[in-house]
Amino acid sequence: MLQSSNLTFQYKKTEHLFRFPNIDLKKQEHLVILGKSGIGKTTLLHLLAGILKPSTGTVSLNSQDITVLRESSLDRFRGKNIGLVFQKKHAIQTLNVLDNLKARLYFGKKKVNLNKMEALLAELDLLDFKTSKVQTLSEGQLQRLGIAIAVIHEPEIILADEPTSSLDDANCKMVLELLLKQAAKTQANLIVITHDHRIKSYFQNTIML
Amino acid sequence: MNIWKISLQNIKSKPLYTFLSVCVLALSITLLLGIQQLKYSFKNQIETNLGKIDLVIGAKGSPLQLVLASVLHLDNPTGNISYTEAQNIIKNPRVKSAVPISYGDNYKGYRIVGTTETFLSIYNAELETGSNVEQSMEVVLGATVAKTLNLKVGDTFLSSHGLIENTVDIHNDELTIVGILKPTHKVIDRLIVTNLESIWDVHHHEVEDTSHADYHHHDHDEVAKEIEADKEITSLLVTFKSPRSLLTFPRKINESTNMLAALPRYELHKLYEYTSVGFQTITWIAYLILVMSGLTIFISLYKMVKERAFDLAILRTYGASNFQLIKMVLYEGLIIAFLAFVIAYLFVKIGLAIVLNFMVASNQQNLLVNLPYQELVYLGILVFFKVVLSVSLAIYPIIKMNISTILSHEK
C-alpha cells in the first residue's frame, strides 16, 4: 500500500539534510513514528502527504509515486486518498460541523451521503452539534470533528500529527481507539507521528527517528 | 456544498467588513449611475424636444434665451417679431417648414402657445380625444396639463397674462378645450396649444377696450389694416430643406434684419457643455470613491486570506487546488460587488424618482429617462474588472502559500 524509499529533505536556507528510514506498509497495517521535537517528524508526515516535495526519494501509495505528480494532480490525489489529523484541533471556522464534512467530500471529489455523514457524527458523539459553528465546540468535540473530517472520504491512508500529545491518559486512549476504529472501518493505513510513547503499544510497527 | 457557499459563509462571518465594503462600493456606483442617468435624461430631453427644428428666429437678444424660451419653453422670450416679416421667411424656397409661435399667457402656470397645426407634427403629437383647433379661442391640451388640472374636452377657462400663474391679470375671453393630446414625453405635454388668432384676439380685445374712445375717430378698414400690420409672433421654428442652408441663412437673418436667428443644437450643446462641468466633477469624485472601494475590498479580502491562512492550508489538504482557493476569494469579491450593484441600482431608482418627482412638480414635466442597457453593462464591466484587480492583489498570499510551513507553525 504505502512505500517510501531513500527519502531526504532539506529546508531552504538551512544546511541540515533530513534523512528518513524507508517505510513499507501492507493494507490495513498501521505505524507509529516516534521521535523527539525537531527531529523531522512533521516533515516526514508532510512528505508522506505530498505537502512537501522530497529532495530525493519516492513516496508511493497504491503504486502511485506521488513525488512525480504535478501540483494539481497531487491536490486531487491527496483529496481522494489521504486523510490528515492535526495536533491543533481545527476545522473551517466559517462552516458548521456538517458543512465541514461536506466541504471535505466536495474537495475530495467524493459523493455527499447525508446518512453516512450523520452516522459518523453519531459514532463520534457529534450528531447533536451537526449544525453548530465550530467555534462553539469544546476541545474534545473539535478533536473528534478533526477525526471525522480525516476519515469521511474513506481514504487509503490516515496520517495523524501528534494527535494525543496534549491529552491525559483517558483521552489519549479514546482518541487512539477512535483512530484505529475508523482506520479499520475504511480499511486504511494509519500512521501516527508523535513524541508520545504511551501510544507505542497500540501499533504493530514502530519507527524511531 | 460548493465554492459559492463557502464564499458566502466567509462573507457572513465578517459582517462589519462586508458592510463597509458594500457601502463604499455602493456609494460610488450610486454616484456613477445617478450622474449617468441625469446626464442621459438631460441630453435625451434636449434631443427629443429639439425634434426637426434647425433654426429659431425671434427678437434680438440672447440666442440661448431665445432657444430655451421657444424650444424648451423654460425661459422668457426675447421679445416679439413682426408676423409680416416672419411670413417672408416662411415663403423662402430654402425653408421646408416654418412654424410661427406666439405666447405670453398661461393658465395655472402652463403656457398657452398660439401656433399652426404643423406645431403638433414637430413633436409627433397626436390627439387622444376631441379635435384640432379650428377657430379662435379653441385650445388643445398637452397630456400633462389635462391630467394635472383634471380638464376635459368641452371645459372652458380664462387665461392670465404672463408666463407665471397669477390671479391679478386675468383675460376676459374664455378659451374652450376641443382636444387633448396623447402623452409624448416632450415639452408639448405641458403646453396649451391654440391658434395664433386666439392670442391676437385676446390681446386685441384688450387694446380695443383701452383705446375704445379713439376707435370712433378712425375709419374701420384703416384700423383693420393697422391691426394686420401690427400682428406679432414670438418666434419662428424653422426646418430647412437642406442642411447647407444652416451655413448661410442664419447669418443673413442676423445681418440684414432686426431679427435674431439662433441655432438650437449649437446653443443647447453649449448649455450642455457648461452644465457638464458639474457632472464631470461628480463623475471624477465617483471614480475616486470607486478606487477607494476597490482598496476597501482588497484590504477586506487580503485580511481574510492572511487571517484564514490555516483554513486555506487545511482546504489544500482536503484536495482543494490553488485555483479553487483563488475562485473562493474571487466569488467573495463578486458577491460584495453584486450586493453593492443591486443596492446602488435601487438607490438610484428611488433617489432619482424622489428628486425628479420634485422637479416634475416645479417644471411640470417628467424628465427621468431610463438609463440605456449599455450604460449599465459598461458600469457592470468596470466594477467587475475593479473587483478582479482587487482579488488579483489579495490572492498573492495564496499563490505564495507554503502549506507545510503554515500547518507546522500553527501547532
Residue of A nearest to B14 (CA): A94
Q: Dihedral angle at the C-alpha atoms of B251, B252, B255, B259, nearest 10 degrees?
A: -90
Spell out the domain ranges in chain B: 3-46+275-409, 55-262
Query: What's the average model confidence in pLDDT over B287-292?
Result: 85
Q: How confident is residue B278, by pLDDT bands cut at 50, 70 and 90? A: confident
- Residues of chain A with Cβ-Cβ distance to B10 below 8 Å are 94
Per-residue pLDDT tens over the stretch B50-91: 778 899 999 999 999 999 888 888 878 888 899 888 888 889
Residue of B nearest to A40 (CA): B408
Per-residue pLDDT tens over the stretch B190-230: 899 999 888 887 766 555 555 554 545 555 566 556 666 67
Q: What sign does the dihedral B168-B171-B177-B179 (CA atoms) show?
A: negative
At residue B365, the pLDDT reads 52
- Residues of chain A with Cβ-Cβ distance to B410 below 8 Å are 86, 88, 90
Which one of 3.40.50.2020, 3.40.50.2300, 3.40.50.300, 1.20.120.160 gives the CATH number of domain A2-208? 3.40.50.300
pTM of the model: 0.69
Spell out the domain ranges in chain A: 2-208
Nearest CA among B268, B229, B224, B288 for reference residue B70: B268
Chain A interface, Cβ < 8 Å to B: 42-43, 46, 49, 51-52, 71-72, 75-76, 78-80, 82, 84, 86-88, 90-95, 99, 102-109, 112, 149, 161-162
pLDDT in 10s for each residue of chain A, 209 residues = 888 989 999 888 787 888 999 999 888 899 999 988 888 888 999 999 998 899 999 999 988 899 899 888 888 899 999 999 887 767 888 899 999 999 999 998 888 889 999 999 998 889 999 999 988 998 888 888 988 999 899 899 999 988 887 778 888 888 888 889 888 988 899 999 988 888 888 888 889 88
Q: How confident is residue B243, by pLDDT bands cut at 50, 70 and 90? A: confident
B403 → closest Cβ in A51, A149, A162: A51
Q: With 80 as the cut, is the pLDDT of residue B308 above it?
A: yes
